[in-house]
Structure 1
Amino acid sequence: MRLWVTALCLATLPQILVAQSSPGTTAKPKPPAPQAHSDSPQMAPKAQLASPQVAAKDLPVRKVVLYKNGVGYFEHAGTVSGNQRVTIDFTSPQLNDVLQSLTVLDEGGGRIAGVNYNSTTPLAEQLKTLSLGMTEDPTSTELFGALRGQKVEVTGGPSSGLGGGTISGRLMSIETRTEKTGSDENAKTIDKFYLTIIAGSGAVRVIELTPTLSVRPTDPSLQGELDRYLELLSSTHSTGLRHLTLDAVGQGQRELRVSYISEVPVWKVTYRMVFPREADGKTTLQGWAVVDNTVGADWDNVQLSLVAGAPQSFIQPISQPLYTPRPEIPISTDAQTTPQTHEAAEMLNDALVAPSSPQMQASAPRKDLRQELKGGYQANALGSVSQSVAVNAENMAIGGPVGVGGARMGFVAGGVYRPSDAIAEGDVSTNAFDDFFQYSLTQPVTIHKNESAMVPILQQELPAEHVTLWSRNEPRPLRAVWLENKSKLTLDAGSFSIFESGEFAGEGLLDSIHPGERRLLSYAADQAMRVKITDQQSQRTLHHLQVHKGLIVERYMDVASITYSATNSADEDRAVLLEHPRRTNGWSLDEGLKPAEATPDTYRFKVAVKAHATEKLEVREHGPEFTTVTINPNQNTNAYLIDLVKRVPNAESELKPIIDAQAKLADLDQAIADAKKQEETAAADEARDRDNLTALKGNDAARRFVDELNHAEDLLQSTRKHTADLDQQKAAAVENLRTQINALNYDWDVTPKN
């Protein structure tokens, strides 16, 4: 309902525009639109007295450092002469980051007189200048509410109730009515809107608001207000560029540097592993970085660095004009006096104390977030970096053709048969610091705005072995590469593709691999291998028993064995890595059984399986297991203790007092339960005899029930006394059992003590 009503309201706007341009209509001039801040510099008084400035010039980007947390460090540099104005373009989303981190340095002894940028007043504040009183997202009810009291013309079709005619008057109100439609069984409720129009003659018309009804304001000034309102709504959808203007004041030619951070797309890493046709235990690892330029300026011949680190960063909306809410204080008015009488002077008057006026306490000023600039300017300062990787791309054509989707493929790979010569060995240097690492291209890079590029960051031969990986978590065997990072570089996390014998073999993902680490990288299913568990055994032997104050700890030595079977149906031999769960609570492998490597959770055993053959591997391990039982008077553990004595006959003499005490306590519990049943039966008999005696009161037969009642009462008293005696015996038995438990101290080992 709201959608078509809103559409109906907006449909009147073309009529408004026609009314404004029609002859004979006198429209009031539109209120002037709020002007954005001027791009012209706001110079200090001394700067205004200086020599005239030359025309503004652009300050190009010279250095870009991209981080993995989605921020980038940008540095603009250029030469200025005298009093010079320079401009830098940003997108609107960049502006908050720029204002928060902007650093400007005039290296020739000059100074920066001012930094200006084009801004806009928030829409909510601009709407306050209009008399309509509508919000940024008005409903149809709110729109008609803004037209209340205004002269309108209402025109409708045959179904509107107006017969295709037109009525004029003032809009009094719009109301919603909920009505039922259909039969009683299938009744539905719908909302209908009704307008109340007061004609010039005073007649009141209530008209249903239907899709065929048209409402047009006749006041030209109101038409101008609606037109201005729509213009403001439309202006919020246009983002455009923000132009930052800096006023550099000084003498002669000098270098000006501007740096800041900005939100940018995260740079991505993708690798290629190219294996030669004849296996030699090595692969050529080629790394590429995908970089996107979505900022407002071109990167022409910039020094590009890619950092795999995440410095802390955040966004504050400091580019938006903020309006602080202020308290609204009511206007004080003098009290109106009324005629009154006064008492005589002889009477005592009570002292009247005027109430003190309310005091307003000013709130504490808000704390500003300030950024402290430390030290002088460092041209290559990038924050905490653990490795600086300089990549020599001298032979690469940076300005290559634009690929699919606007991505600039400036670097051309050499295909899968021979690795690309884009990066020669020996062109990579490292510098360790903290836990970050960085790739820096030694040659300038050009990436225009709204374009992307693939940048080569690594090419090196590394040891790699093809294996088949199997684990219980993934029963299907996987083809994998056992890659060892023999380089001095940290391989950043990303995707990779495998090429074998000149063909694509699969792809996968890798985590960061530090120098010296070896990592398994799976990339395809191995359909020629079948791995299964053919045998599984376990044996437990009690090695130690300790009993202390009711706590019994049994220590067992477990010996477990699992037999794996691996069958190779391929024509080539396979190296299979079997992942076996690793227990870390004292368990160890049998002597002579060593895994190829171990992780915190698994052992990896390497098994060589020839073509069309089956190999088996038995993994034997041993370790302790513990069983803990607590003896207490509130729980009968005799079944467990009797079984324990059978397994450890030497413990019978120590545990027999506990067994006997628990047996006696169990007998008392049974006797108490029986006594309570007898007590309940005696109480029921006594109550029945008493009721019979009451019913036969005054009758000769009542004498017999008197004797029965006396007998029942004696029996009830006797059973209650017996139950109380048993409760006392149980309390004594519980205390005796507790004493026996606290005195129990026994230690037994399967190995005789010398």
Structure 2
Amino acid sequence: MLSSGEARVTGIEFDSVLSGGLSRSLAALPVESDAPVTYREVLESLRGIEVEIKAGAEAWSGQLAEVTDAPPIHLSPRAASVAAAGTGGKAPALEAGRQERAAVAPDTQEDLYLTLIQRGGAIRRLRASRVDQVRPVDPIVAGRLGAAVGALSGRAAQIRRSLRVLAESAAPVRLGYIAETPVWRSTYRLLLDGGRAKLQGWALVHNDTDEPWAGVSVELVNGRPDSFLFPLSAPRYARRGLAHPDESLSTIPQLADRTPDQIWGDNADGSITSMGFGSGEGRLGGSHGMGLSGTGSVMTLPDGSTEESEALSIGNLAEVAQAVGVENGALFTYRLAGGLHLRAHGSALVPFTQQDVEAQRLTWFEGEQERGRSGARLANTTAQTLPAGPVAVYEASGFAGETGLPRLKPGERAFLLFGVDLDVALRTAARRPEDATQRLVFEGGRLTEHFVRKHRRTYAVENRGGEGRRVHVALDIVKNASARGFDAVDFDEASGRPLGVLRIGPRSKLEREVTIDEALQRSHDVRSLSSRALREKADVAALTAADRAALGAAARLFEEVEKTDREKAAESASIGRIEKDLARLREHLEALGDKSGSPAGANPLVVRILALEDELSGARRRLEQLEAQREARLASVKGELDRLR
């Protein structure tokens, strides 16, 4: 609400917007908002109310005392035949039960009795089927019934309501309002012309209201401002809690056929699922905003698996992708040049930007078996944030393809792929990679090896087209790497992969040797190591003398661990043999039985079983001792490896 300062506004008055449950409750109707209202329920809502009833030329007034079921009126045979003749003179063949039902007046099969107590004390009973009109005498009751009908209407949100501005002067006051409209969307045309490019941005806007726009000033906001519906206009009674507009977008306006209070519902069960505005705790910040949260964790790699090294640094191929963005706050607003004229329920594409941008034509390869993809490296060199949207790409020869543009701040850039390049082919020949250990670290019972993996690859490119190409090859390497032999190195932020760039002229072939070094690490549990592996690492020249000495000592101690492992294997084999002999002898004893009546100690099978059981107990004790010995010797190995820091 705006004024020149001469008007003193004291308030705004409007009719309360009743929810379905409240309107039913005030009209004494059932409060279930979704259930249909029957004729009987409307009559029962008038019990105890002064009403006027008309039936033909007669009229009665009084208090409606009761509404009860009335039996149907049975017709005489003559009246039944007349009723049948009224259907066209054709009497259908009916069963006995259906004949009986046909002898009942059709409008009395589910009839009601209205019990009316008149002012003089007279009691009158009337059939509802014979009544033409029932009208409450009290205008307040009639108004409540009318309000209930309006709230229950499927077009309740479109009912016109008056708004009264309370002011102490006659000075003019200007009112502003917010109308629900669809979100605006962007679409682009990218015109590639050699090393130059022009980007045209068009906004698709919709006037989904019943009011035409005439010279409307339009501002397009590029961002995600918080916006929500809040049930405010209807009277509420303590049970409050909601603020749940989520990110999903619908093609149907929320207020097409319901008010915010109807969307919220009546919460008649008294349950409160969450607190909301007006109850001492606002929860909008967490209910409709978008956010990303993460938790830190320690990742344990499987033995032998590799990842980017945290201890070595030989290069950062992602640095080439860093650009300085211009931060203009959370939102960026485009103001259209002139007023917009748009009919009601109409849509329009309107231009919101047209500027020169930096774009390089390229051919993209994911791998040797993949076809080259036509693309462009687009940098947002404008001062505006570009919202996401589809892009139609054009070259001098005409339409080149379609793709999507991610949201780009000033200074940011993206790779756009929009077609297949049939003129460029790529072949790759690679030698087996070579690993060179640079450092060993022992921590948490795991030995981590930091090493450099050297790749030697040959890229053969053929360009059968009449124009030169910039070939971008997606590399399956980590960012902590260096690459020699490419004309340039780039980085794709979307996929997190480095890119090798090769330039080739028109109708030509190119073969290039490339060397790539990656800084990687792999981790091993100490129990999975071997004395041989430790001795090999002790001979690595890149390690310090202290580290080599620690590895050599650990290798010698691990030989004792391996000796214990061999003894354990032999003892386990002995236990297995004894258990098989025991099982066999027990089967023989069970099959033969003891028929001699001699004592158990005189039976050779029993004697043998007892001896084997003693032998088995001794073997199991020795195995337990060997396991303890192994753990002690393994602890000595860990003590030596702890020097690797």
Between the aligned partners of 2:276 and 2:199, the Cα distance in structure 1 is 54
Kept in 1, the 8 Å contact 2:21–2:31? The answer is no
State whether structure 2 residue 556 is matched by structure 1 residue 656: yes
Between the aligned partners of 2:444 and 2:417, the Cα distance in structure 1 is 55
Judged with a 3 Å threshold, the aligned counterparts in structure 2 of structure 1 residues 260 and 572 are, in CA distance, closer, same or farther, namely same
Kept in 2, the 8 Å contact 1:492–1:512? The answer is yes
State whether structure 2 residue 42 is matched by structure 1 residue 149: no
Q: Counterpart in 2 of 1:587? A: 481
Judged with a 3 Å threshold, the aligned counterparts in structure 2 of structure 1 residues 613 and 502 are, in CA distance, closer, same or farther, namely closer
Residue identity matched to 2:131:
P
Query: Cα offset for 1:742?
Result: 4.3
Between the aligned partners of 1:481 and 1:143, the Cα distance in structure 2 is 72
Between the aligned partners of 1:456 and 1:450, the Cα distance in structure 2 is 20
Between the aligned partners of 1:136 and 1:274, the Cα distance in structure 2 is 57
Q: Counterpart in 1 of 2:567? A: 667
State whether structure 2 residue 626 is matched by structure 1 residue 730: yes
Between the aligned partners of 2:603 and 2:280, the Cα distance in structure 1 is 101
Kept in 2, the 8 Å contact 1:494–1:511? The answer is yes
State whether structure 2 residue 602 is matched by structure 1 residue 706: yes
Q: Counterpart in 1 of 2:97? A: 161
Kept in 1, the 8 Å contact 2:377–2:413? The answer is yes
Between the aligned partners of 1:686 and 1:487, the Cα distance in structure 2 is 90
Query: Cα offset for 1:315?
Result: 0.9
Give the SS at the match of 2:370.
Answer: strand
Between the aligned partners of 1:166 and 1:220, the Cα distance in structure 2 is 22
Query: Cα offset for 1:308?
Result: 1.0
Unaligned runs of 5+ in 2: 45-66, 75-79, 85-91, 113-126, 137-144, 241-274, 283-325, 540-547
Kept in 1, the 8 Å contact 2:12–2:164? The answer is yes
State whether structure 2 residue 615 is matched by structure 1 residue 719: yes
State whether structure 2 residue 9 is matched by structure 1 residue 109: no
Between the aligned partners of 2:634 and 2:229, the Cα distance in structure 1 is 67
How big is each residue's C-alpha offset from its partner over 1:252-272, in whole Å with a ceiling of 9 and x where there is no partner? 6x4523334443211222223
Between the aligned partners of 1:537 and 1:133, the Cα distance in structure 2 is 80
Judged with a 3 Å threshold, the aligned counterparts in structure 2 of structure 1 residues 231 and 371 are, in CA distance, closer, same or farther, namely closer
Q: Counterpart in 2 of 1:242? A: 160
Match 2:415 to one of 511, 520, 530: 520
Between the aligned partners of 1:126 and 1:451, the Cα distance in structure 2 is 35
Between the aligned partners of 2:188 and 2:428, the Cα distance in structure 1 is 36
Residue identity matched to 2:153:
S
Judged with a 3 Å threshold, the aligned counterparts in structure 2 of structure 1 residues 629 and 579 are, in CA distance, closer, same or farther, namely closer
State whether structure 2 residue 206 is matched by structure 1 residue 292: yes
State whether structure 2 residue 531 is matched by structure 1 residue 641: yes
Query: Cα offset for 1:608?
Result: 3.0
Identity rate, percent? 19
TM-score (norm 2): 0.62
Match 1:628 to one of 494, 506, 523: 523
Query: Cα offset for 1:292?
Result: 1.8
Give the SS at the match of 2:376.
Answer: strand
Kept in 1, the 8 Å contact 2:216–2:339? The answer is yes
Query: Cα offset for 1:728?
Result: 6.5
Match 2:492 to one of 599, 617, 621: 599
Unaligned runs of 5+ in 1: 1-103, 172-194, 199-215, 327-364, 373-430, 750-754
Show the 5 A alignment for 1:614-625: 614-625=509-520
Query: Cα offset for 1:440?
Result: 1.9
Residue identity matched to 1:105:
L
Kept in 1, the 8 Å contact 2:111–2:128? The answer is no
Kept in 1, the 8 Å contact 2:69–2:111? The answer is no
Between the aligned partners of 2:376 and 2:586, the Cα distance in structure 1 is 90
Query: Cα offset for 1:111?
Result: 1.9
Query: Cα offset for 1:689?
Result: 6.3
Query: Cα offset for 1:150?
Result: 3.0
TM-score (norm 1): 0.54
Q: Counterpart in 2 of 1:265? A: 182
State whether structure 2 residue 596 is matched by structure 1 residue 696: yes
* Number of residues of Structure 1 aligned to a counterpart in Structure 2: 494
Residue identity matched to 2:163:
T
**Structure possessing the higher radius of gyration over alpha carbons:** 1
Kept in 1, the 8 Å contact 2:372–2:424? The answer is yes
Kept in 2, the 8 Å contact 1:554–1:627? The answer is yes
Kept in 1, the 8 Å contact 2:478–2:498? The answer is no
State whether structure 2 residue 574 is matched by structure 1 residue 574: no
Q: Counterpart in 2 of 1:309? A: 223
Between the aligned partners of 2:340 and 2:149, the Cα distance in structure 1 is 42
Query: Cα offset for 1:559?
Result: 0.5
Show the 5 A alignment for 1:87-102: none
How big is each residue's C-alpha offset from its partner over 1:476-514, in whole Å with a ceiling of 9 and x where there is no partner? 333223334333233332233233347433333212333
Kept in 1, the 8 Å contact 2:391–2:402? The answer is yes
Between the aligned partners of 1:519 and 1:731, the Cα distance in structure 2 is 59
Judged with a 3 Å threshold, the aligned counterparts in structure 2 of structure 1 residues 306 and 538 are, in CA distance, closer, same or farther, namely same
Between the aligned partners of 1:512 and 1:686, the Cα distance in structure 2 is 79
Match 2:197 to one of 277, 283, 299: 283
Residue identity matched to 1:445:
L
Give the SS at the match of 2:466.
Answer: coil
Give the SS at the match of 1:283.
Answer: strand
Residue identity matched to 2:209:
V
